[in-house]
Structure 1
Amino acid sequence: MKLIQNVSTYTEQFIKVCVRYPLTVALLFSLAMYNLLQIESNQQIEEPYFQAILVGIMLSLVSQQLHERYFLRIKMRLFLIGLSLVLMLSYFFFLNTLSIPFVEMHYRTITIVLMTSVMFIGLPSIDSQIRFSQSFLAIFKRVFISLFYSIVLIGGIGLIIAAVDLLLFSVSYTMFMHAFNLVATLFFPLIFLGSIPLQDELVKEMPSPILEKLLTYVLVPITAIYTGVVLLYIAMTIAQTEWLDALLEPILISYFILTLIIYLLALECNHTITKLFVSVFPKILALIALFQTIVSVVRIGDIGLTYGRYYVILFSVFALVMGVIYSMKEMRDSGWIAPILIGASLVSIAPFIDAFTLSRVYQVNALESLFEENALLTDGEIVQNSDVQVSDRKDITRLVNYLSDLDQLDYVEGIEQNRWDPNQFESALGFSPQYEGYQPDIINMDSITVEQEETSFLDLRSYDYGSELSISPYDETREMTVGDDFILTVETENENFYLTLSENGEDVVEIDGMELFDELFDERVENGTQLSPNDQIFTYEADAATLDLHIEHAMRRDDTYQFSGRLFVTTED
C-alpha cells in the first residue's frame, strides 16, 4: 500500500514539473534521445543539435521565471514559450548554416548558458525582499542536493550492472553510458526543477549547518590560501619586472568565477571567518583584476589579441567592478553582479565586437603585414620565400595555426583554404612551420613518416622471414635467426647503426644506417616529411638472399636518430 502511495506521490510531482516547465521537460527528453543516438551510433551527430538544445533548456527556464514574476496571463506564458523556441531554432540555424567552428560554438554556448543561468537566479530577487545572494544560495542548495541524489543513484546502478556482468551474463559497456545519460539528463534536472519554490513561496534561507561548516573551515580557507599564492606571484612578477609573463591568464576566468561563487555563499553566513572574508576579499579581487587587466592589454601589443585574451580582459574588468562594488558595505546587498555579468556576456557574443570577430581581424591584419614585410604577398597572391628570418617564421607559424584552428585562414588575402596542414604551409610559403624553442644553429633534424595504411597490405607469402624493426642509439646489439642458415645482426652506436645478414659466418648483406638515411632524405623525400609508397621500400640483393626494408618512420638529428619499419628476407634455395 505504501509503495502505491509513493508511486502516486512521485507521479504527481512529475506531473507538476511537466505542467510548470513543459518546454524544459520536452527539451530534456530530446537531449536524452540525442545522447542515446550518440551512444548507439558509430557516427558523430552534428554538434549544433546539442548546443541548441542546451540553450533552449536555459531559455525555457528563464521564460518560466518571467511568467511567474511578471507576466501571469496564460497568453503571455504561451508567447514566452514560443519566443524561447524561436530563439533556440535561430541559434541552431546560426550555428549550422554558418558552419561555426567548434571552439567558437563552444564558447558562445557557454557564454549564453552562463548569462541565462544568472537571469534564472536573479529574476526572483528583483523588487523583492530576497537578495541576489539569498536566491543564489537557494538554487545552490537545491543543485547540491539533486547532484548528491544523482551520484548515489548512478553509483548504485553502476554496481548493479557490474554485478550482472560478472555473475550472470555479459553486459554491453554502453549500458552504463545509457544509465548515466538518463540520470544526468532526466533524473537530476527533474529532481532540481521539482524542488524550486514558486514566487509566492520564496523565503529567506540560511545555509545548512553542513554547508556553513564546509564554507567556514574548508572552502574559504582554501580560497584565501590560493589567493595568497596569486598575490605572491604578482608581487614577484612586479619585483622582477616580468610584466609580460602570462602564467596567470589560463586560470584567471575559472578563478574569478569560483571565488565569486564562494563569496556569494559566504555573504549568507554569520561566522567570524566568513565575515572577515566578505569584508577583505573584494579589495584583493579588485587588485588582482586590475593587475591582470593591465598585463593582458599590454600583451596585445606584444603577441596580439586572441579570443582567450579577449575573455580574460573582459572578465578581469568584470571582476574589478565587482571588487569595487562589494568593497563598499552598503552595496553588498545589491544584485549588481547579475546585470553587469549579463552585459559582459552580451558584449562577448554581440556581432562585430565579439571575441572571435575582433581577434580574427587583429590576427588577419598581423599576418598580412608579416607577409608583405617578408615579400610573401605579391599582387594579392602568396609566393614562396625561404629567406624569412626565424623570428618572423615563428610569428607567421603562430598566426597561421591560430587562424587554421578556427577555420578562418581564408580571410587572409591570397589564401583560399580555411586551414593549412604543415605540408600546405611549406609548399605555400617556402619554409616549414617553426615554433617557439626552435634553434636552427643547434639542431638540424630530418624526419619522415609513412602512413600505416600504406604499408599494411603486403603479400607475405613471397617472403621467407619477416619482422618488425625498431632501432635507436640506446638499443643493445641483437641477433635474430633467419631460417636455418642465416643470422640478422642489428648493431647500434651513438651516431649510426648497422644491419648485417650473414650466412654461416659470412656477411651476405650489409646496410650502413647513415648511408640509408642519406639516400632516404637526400634523394627520395621531396616534401620533407612525406614518402610515397614506391619510395618506402629499400631492396638489397645478394646471391644467397634478398633483403627488403619497408620504412615506416625515420628521424635523424645532430645528436640522435630513430628508425622503425619492417624487414623481410627471401633466401635462395
Structure 2
Amino acid sequence: MRIVKNLQQTFQGIIGASTRYPLTVLFLLALALLNGLTINQEKELYTNYLFTLFVGVVLSGVAQQVYERFFHKVNQRLILYALASLLTIGYYFIIPKENLYDLEVGIKTSVFVFALVLLYILIPTIKATLTFNESFMAAFKAFFITSLFTLIIASGTSSILFAIDRLLFSLDDKLTLHVLNIIFTLFAPLYYLSFTPLYEKSSEKYNSKEEKMATLEKIEESKSVPKVLKLLISYVIIPITVIYTAILLAYILLNIRSSFWTDNLLEPMLVSYAVTVIVVYILSSTIENQITVLFRKIFPKVLIPIVLFQTIASILKIGDMGITQGRYYVILFGVFATIAGLIFSFLPVKKNGAAIAVLIVFCILSIIPPIDAFTVSRINQTNLLEDTLIENEMLENDKIIPKSSISKEDKIRITEASDYLVNMNYDKKIEWLPDDLTSNSKFETTFGFEKQYENQDIGDMGRYVNLSYEEDLNLSITDYQHMMRLHLYPSDSDLSNEKEISFELDGVDYKLVQQFKDNRYVLELRDNQNEEKISVDMQPIFEKMLTDENIKKEGLSVDEATIVEENDQVEMKFIVENLNEYDSQYNGDFYLFIRIK
C-alpha cells in the first residue's frame, strides 16, 4: 500500500506541476515531438528549433516563478507568458541557421540558460522570508532525486524492451529511443518541477487553513537537509576542501615569485576550486554544527586572496597573449568570486543571494555586445595580431609580408592569434587575413615561418602525414592481382602471435603475415606450402614517408604516398592513407596492391 501511495503522490505531483506550469508543458511537448521526428528521420533538420524550445522551457519556468512571487492576476500571468514567448522567438532569430554548432552560439546559450536557472532559484527569495540557501538546497535535492529516479526508470525500461526484443518478438529499433525521449524530455522536467513548492504567494492568501498548512509543510520538507547530506558535507566534503586549499596555498606561497604568474594550467584548477568553495559554502549555510560554522567563518576570507591573485595573474597574461573568451570568463569569474568572498565574509548568511544576483548580472553582461566575451576577444585578438605584424614591418597596405627573422615571442603571438581568429571564423571579417590558414603550408607561405607555440617541443609533437582528402580517391588496380587495406597499430597486435590475411590468386592460396618484432612491423607473403615469397620491413617505409617535406604538406597526392617493394617473385605497392609517429611508435593505414610475378 505504501508503494501505491507513493506512486499516487508522484503522479499527483506531476499533474500539479503540469497545471502550474502550462507554458512550460507546451514547450516540453513540442520539444518531445521534434525529438521524435529527429529520431525517425535521423537528420538534424530541427536542431535550431530544439535549441529554441529548450531555451523556451527555462524562460517559461522563470516567468511562472516571477508570477507566483510578485503577481496574482490572470492577465499578469498571461503578459509574463507572452514576454517569455517573445524572448524565445527572439532567440530563434538571433542564432545562426547555417552554423548552429558554432562555439559562440553554444557558450552564449549555455551562459544564458545558466543565468536563468540561477534566477529561477533566486526569485522566490526576493523580499521574502525564504533565504537563497534554503531555495538552493531545495533545488539541489530536487535535481539529484529527479536524476536518480529518471536514470532508474530509463535503465529499467530499456532493459525490459531489450528483453522483449530478444526473447519474445522483435521491436522497432527506434522504440527505445522514443521511450527514452518521453522519459527525459517530459517526465524528468515535470518530476523536477513537482518538487518546487509554492513558497509565498504575492497575495499571501490561501483557500483554506488546510491548504496553508499543506503548503508550509511542503516548504519545510523541501528546504530541510537530509541527514546523509549533512554528514557528507560536514565530514567528507569540507575536510577534502580544507586539504585541497592547503595544497593550493602552499603552491602559491612557493611560486609567488616565479611560475604562479605564468602557469596556464592553474587557471582551471583555481576556477574549479572557487566554484567548489562557493557551492559548499551555500550548502553548509543550512547546516548548523561546529564544522560548518567554522568553515563559513574562515573560508570566504581564504577564498578572496586566492582568486584575487589568480585574477591578477590572468590580467597580466593579457599583455602577452591577449584576451580570448576563455580568459574573459576566467577574469570575470575571478571578479565575481572576490565579490562573493566579501559578501560571505561581512554580510549575514541569509544575504548570500546578493552574490548570486551579481553572478546573474555578470552572466548577462558577458553575452550582450559590445562588451560580451566574444566581441571583446575578437577585437583584442585582431588588434594584437595587427599590432605585432606592424611592429615587425609585416603588414603594409593591408597586405601581409612574409618574414622569418622575428623574435620567437612574436612568432608565438602571431601563431596563437591567427589560430584563434581562424578557429572562431573571425578571419572572414578581416580583409588582410587570407583564408585557409589552418593549413601549415599556407601559414608558412603567408607569414614566412612555421607555427610556433609556447613551451613547444618539436620532438614531442610527433609526425603525421595523410592522403589528400581534397582529391577524389581513384586507385587503379591495373597490373596488380589483389588489393587489401592494412591497419597497422601496435595495440591491435599481440606480440606473441602473428596476424594473417588469407586470399587466393589463380587457384593458389596465399597469406600475408603481419608480425611485430622488436618494435618494428614486418610483412611476409607466404604461399600454400608456407614458403616465404617476400618479406618487407616497414620501418624504412615509415621513415621515407615521414620526411619534413611531407609533414609540412596538408595532404599527399597518390603518387607522393606510394612506395613499391619487390623481388624476383612478388611486387608490392603501398599507398599511405595515414601514418603517424609519436614517441618512436608508428601507427597507420595503407592500401596494399600485390602482383605475383
If the TM-score is normalised by the length of the shorter chain, which range does it land in? Answer: 0.7 to 0.9
The equivalent residue for 1:348 is 366
Is the 2:580–2:588 Cα contact (8 Å) retained in structure 1? yes
The equivalent residue for 1:288 is 306
1:382 corresponds to which of 381, 400, 403: 400
Distance 2:350 2:40 in 1: 50
The root-mean-square deviation of aligned C-alpha atoms, in Å, is 4.5
Match status 1:122 vs 2:122: yes
Distance 2:244 2:6 in 1: 47
The equivalent residue for 1:196 is 196
2:382 corresponds to which of 344, 349, 364: 364
Distance 2:185 2:548 in 1: 58
Residues 1:460 and 1:234: Cα distance change in structure 2 (over 3 Å): same
Distance 1:402 1:150 in 2: 40
2:594 corresponds to which of 543, 552, 569: 569
Q: Which amino acid aligns with 2:121?
A: I
Distance 2:139 2:583 in 1: 62
SS in 2 for 1:242: helix
2:340 corresponds to which of 297, 302, 322: 322
Distance 1:100 1:530 in 2: 29
| Mapping 1:417-566, distance limit 5 Å | 417=435, 420-439=438-457, 447-451=464-468, 458=475, 462-466=479-483, 528-538=553-563, 546-553=571-578, 565-566=590-591
Residues 1:160 and 1:457: Cα distance change in structure 2 (over 3 Å): farther
The equivalent residue for 1:414 is 432
Is the 1:410–1:419 Cα contact (8 Å) retained in structure 2? no
The equivalent residue for 2:256 is 238
Q: CA deviation at 1:571?
A: 3.6
Distance 1:138 1:406 in 2: 39
Match status 1:24 vs 2:24: yes
SS in 2 for 1:278: helix
The equivalent residue for 1:260 is 278
Distance 2:593 2:292 in 1: 73
The equivalent residue for 2:225 is 207
The equivalent residue for 1:136 is 136
Is the 1:403–1:419 Cα contact (8 Å) retained in structure 2? no
Mean Cα displacement is larger for which, 342-351 or 536-545? 536-545
SS in 2 for 1:195: coil
Q: Which amino acid aligns with 2:190?
A: L
Q: CA deviation at 1:354?
A: 0.9
Q: CA deviation at 1:493?
A: 11
Residues 1:555 and 1:277: Cα distance change in structure 2 (over 3 Å): closer
Match status 1:217 vs 2:242: no
Is the 1:17–1:194 Cα contact (8 Å) retained in structure 2? yes
Once the two structures are superposed, what CA deviation does each residue of 1:87-110 show, in whole Å capped at 9, x if it has no partner?
Answer: 111112111269576222222122
Q: Which amino acid aligns with 1:339?
A: A
Q: CA deviation at 1:450?
A: 0.9
Is the 1:465–1:570 Cα contact (8 Å) retained in structure 2? yes
Residues 1:532 and 1:321: Cα distance change in structure 2 (over 3 Å): same
Q: Which amino acid aligns with 1:50?
A: L
Is the 2:132–2:352 Cα contact (8 Å) retained in structure 1? yes
Once the two structures are superposed, what CA deviation does each residue of 1:179-238 show, in whole Å capped at 9, x if it has no partner?
Answer: 433222211211122232222435454313233223222332233333333323322322
Is the 2:13–2:191 Cα contact (8 Å) retained in structure 1? no
The equivalent residue for 1:69 is 69
Distance 1:206 1:3 in 2: 23
Distance 1:212 1:270 in 2: 9
Q: CA deviation at 1:24?
A: 0.7
SS in 2 for 1:370: helix
Q: CA deviation at 1:25?
A: 0.8
Is the 1:470–1:563 Cα contact (8 Å) retained in structure 2? yes
Once the two structures are superposed, what CA deviation does each residue of 1:458-507 show, in whole Å capped at 9, x if it has no partner?
Answer: 5658533555567899999x99999779999999999999999999x999
Is the 1:364–1:411 Cα contact (8 Å) retained in structure 2? no
Residues 1:141 and 1:494: Cα distance change in structure 2 (over 3 Å): closer
Mean Cα displacement is larger for which, 238-247 or 460-469? 460-469
Q: Which amino acid aligns with 2:575?
A: H
Match status 1:393 vs 2:411: yes
Mean Cα displacement is larger for which, 185-194 or 38-47? 38-47
Distance 2:525 2:142 in 1: 74
Once the two structures are superposed, what CA deviation does each residue of 1:60-101 show, in whole Å capped at 9, x if it has no partner?
Answer: 111111111222221111111011011111112111269576
Q: Which amino acid aligns with 2:452?
A: Q
Residues 1:269 and 1:528: Cα distance change in structure 2 (over 3 Å): same
Residues 1:161 and 1:369: Cα distance change in structure 2 (over 3 Å): same
Residues 1:361 and 1:20: Cα distance change in structure 2 (over 3 Å): same
The equivalent residue for 2:208 is none
Once the two structures are superposed, what CA deviation does each residue of 1:316-344 show, in whole Å capped at 9, x if it has no partner?
Answer: 11111111111125464453123211221
Once the two structures are superposed, what CA deviation does each residue of 1:326-383 show, in whole Å capped at 9, x if it has no partner?
Answer: 1125464453123211221122112111111111111111111233344443321234
Q: CA deviation at 1:247?
A: 2.4
Residues 1:259 and 1:139: Cα distance change in structure 2 (over 3 Å): same
Q: CA deviation at 1:549?
A: 3.2
Distance 1:418 1:510 in 2: 39
SS in 2 for 1:16: helix
Is the 1:297–1:313 Cα contact (8 Å) retained in structure 2? yes
Q: CA deviation at 1:250?
A: 1.6
Q: Which amino acid aligns with 1:450?
A: L
| Mapping 1:299-310, distance limit 5 Å | 299-310=317-328
Q: CA deviation at 1:288?
A: 1.7
Distance 2:576 2:266 in 1: 45
Distance 2:513 2:142 in 1: 70
The equivalent residue for 2:60 is 60
Q: Percent identity?
A: 32
Distance 1:87 1:366 in 2: 36
Distance 1:444 1:6 in 2: 59
Report the TM-score, using the length of structure 2 for normalisation.
0.80
Distance 1:214 1:443 in 2: 43
Mean Cα displacement is larger for which, 141-150 or 107-116? 141-150
Q: Which amino acid aligns with 2:591?
A: R
Residues 1:463 and 1:297: Cα distance change in structure 2 (over 3 Å): same
Mean Cα displacement is larger for which, 313-322 or 17-26? 17-26
The equivalent residue for 1:154 is 154
Report the TM-score, using the length of structure 1 for normalisation.
0.83
